[in-house]
Amino acid sequence: MKMKKYIAATMPEAMKAIRKELGDEAVILSSKVVYSKGFLGMFKKKSIEVLAGMDSIELPNKAPNLPTVQLDPDSNQTSEIKKELEDIKNMVKSIQRPQLEQQYSEELHTLIHHLKQQELAEELITRVSDELFVHGKKTIDEQLDFTKNYLNNLLSDLSFGGISYERKFINVLGPTGVGKTTTIAKMAARAVLEKKKKVGFITTDTYRIAAIEQLKTYAGLLQAPIEIVYSQKDFQQAVHQFEKLDLVFIDTAGRNYKEVKFVEDLQKLIDFKDNTETFLVLSSTSKERDMEVIIEQFTEFPIEKLIFTKIDETNSIGSMINLMVKYNKGLAYYTDGQEVPEDIVEASQDGIVELLLKGIHNERSS
Give the Cα separation of 175 and 339 in Å (integer).
21
DSSP string, 304-318: -EEEEE-GGG-S--H
Helix, strand, coil share of the chain (percent; to 5):
45, 20, 35
pTM: 0.70
DSSP string, 119-176: T--HHHHHHHHHHHHHTT--SHHHHHHHHHHHHHHHTTTS-BSS--SSSSEEEEE--T
Between 94 and 23, where is the model more confident? Answer: 23
What letter does residue 31 receive in the DSSP assignment? Answer: E
Please state, rounded to an integer, the average pLDDT across all residues of the chain: 80
| pLDDT attached to residue 341 | 84
Tell me the per-residue pLDDT of 275-331, one tens digit each, with 9 for 90 and over. Answer: 889 999 999 999 999 999 989 888 878 899 999 999 999 989 999 999 999 999 999
What number of H helices and E strands is found in the chain? Answer: 13, 11
Tell me the per-residue pLDDT of 117-146, one tens digit each, with 9 for 90 and over. Answer: 999 999 899 888 888 877 776 788 888 898
Strand-pairing partners, residue 49, are 7, 32
101-114: b or e for each residue (b if 16 or more CB lie within 10 Å)?
Answer: eeeebebbebbbeb
Give the Cα separation of 266 and 313 in Å (integer).
29
The burial of 241, by beta-carbon neighbours within 10 Å (0-12 exposed, 13-18 middle, 19 or more buried), is given as middle
Of 9-18, 174-183, 184-193, 212-221, which has the strongest mean pLDDT?
A: 184-193
The answer to whether residue 72 scores a pLDDT higher than 80 is no
Residue type at 294?
I
> Measuring CA to CA, which residue among 188, 193, 198, 180 is closest to residue 163?
188
Between 73 and 322, where is the model more confident? Answer: 322
Tell me the per-residue pLDDT of 225-262, one tens digit each, with 9 for 90 and over. Answer: 999 988 888 988 999 999 999 999 998 876 555 556 66
